[in-house]
Every structure is written in C-alpha cells, then in structure tokens.
Chain A
C-alpha cells in the first residue's frame, strides 16, 4: 500500500526543515529548493540521506542531479539545453515540472528548477502514491 500525498509531503517537509534549517511554513509545494529555501549543493546530499532513511528508498545520484546530461555536448549547446537534451531530462525526471525551464532552458538555471512539489512527486514515484 502506498502513502498518501499528504503523508509524503509531511515527511518531505520534515526532511527539508531538518536539512535546511527552515520553518515548517516556508516549505510549501511551490517553494523552490534553491531559490526559496536556500539549499546549497551540499544540502542535496543531506536531503538524499534523509529521504532515503525516512522512506526506506534508494536514491541514485543522477536521478535528482542529472549532471551527466547537463555536461554532455550532445545535449547542451552554448549553455542551453537542446531539444534532445530536454527530451532526455524529461525521460530521466518525469516527476519534475519543466514547463517554465523549457521556455528558456539555460543550464545555469537548472539548479533552481526543483520545487518541494517536484520532490514529493519524485518520492511518490519511488514509494507509490495512493493519490
């Protein structure tokens, strides 16, 4: 039996509060991890550890941070993700909302793409969600 959306959100929220030192009410589904919650690169490792423990899942590095795509010359031209690159990103991260990023897919902006809601969707894809 999977977890409900609310159960997933609560556990993700708890992980982010602990990892980033933010308040509960700052962690809403629309908040971006980097821009709104101030996550730095090292925090993502911490978040991965906390989510793995909290949900008893295994998170591969490339699932949340597709650096191999973003540094691949076949997928990036002049600092912008190509159409092929976008297709690869969507295939790799079907749980992420890329509609805004896709309008101007500069690699430098990718780091601020993920929202709390995306993270919940990702976890839901790993543990199964009832919703």
Chain B
C-alpha cells in the first residue's frame, strides 16, 4: 500500500493555505477491512491525509529545511463517514507558526457537506534528535509532490510559482 492520502493539490499558496482532493475508492485495502460490511475510509487516514497536506504547507513555508513531524491532533470531529465513491475536498490553512512548531486547521467536505474538522500541531525535530539526516530519500518527496500536481498549482504569496526545490 502506498502511503499517499492526498490525490491531488488544486491550490497552494505558500505560508497561507492548501486545497486538494482525496478520492475514496473500494480498491483501497483499508476501506473494507476497517469496518467489514460497511466500507469507509478510516478516520485516522483522513487525519493522515490532512497531516500530509499540512506538513507540506508548513515544510514549504521553511523551504523544506526543517524536519517537520506531526506532534498532536488538537481536534478531530467527523460528521459523516467517507464512503467509497466520495471525493473529499480538503482545505488546510496555516494557523500559527513558531520557531519550534506550527498549527494548521483542516476541513474536509463531500460536496457541500462538512465531513470532518481537524486541528493539527507540528513540531520541528532538532538536528540529531531521532534522526541525523533528511526524513526522505533524495528526490522522493519531490517525486511525490509532482505526482500530486503540487508544482502545477503552488505559488508564493505574490502569485509566482514556487521554486523547484532541489533539497527534497
């Protein structure tokens, strides 16, 4: 199983927000194993998708120079299950940034209906703490972002395309 819980970025403004989709499909193993007979995307994996989108938003804000890890799920409210055939519209907004961490607020909608509300906090690992090097192999994160159309839509606060980062 590939650990991608976002399918596509549709909007990304550096230091501000990210938008994208997660399509829910019965082809995913996690769907029918979580609650047999009632296929649904496990809520924890929706949190993981938000954490991926939020983590990229925070990491890009620091030019991917920090080791950004999910530290805390502050709030997670699920208003309805994400069923096969649903398309989750994900919206992540950068809430606050410190030199040691950041918070984001996340919403998931199916159509016009609010599906989930999630607040996340990220921390930055100090060099040598838990890991000595980068969290991804060279090129791995860049390839992942390309597949998700990140570089098609990502712009800086002035509306200019973000740089093709060479450190990811």
Contacts and interface: CB of A to CB of B under 8 A. Distances in A.
Contacts of A19: 74
Contacts of B74: 18-19, 46
A49 B96 contact: yes
Interface in B91-113: 95-96, 98-101, 103
Contacts of B103: 49
B96 A45 contact: no
Interface centre among A18, A45, A46, A52 (most CB of B within 10 A): A45
B71 A52 contact: no
Contacts of A61: 98-100
A45 B99 contact: no
B72 interface: yes
B123 interface: yes
A111 B61 CA distance: 31
Nearest to A53: B96
Interface of B: 71-72, 74, 95-96, 98-101, 103, 121, 123
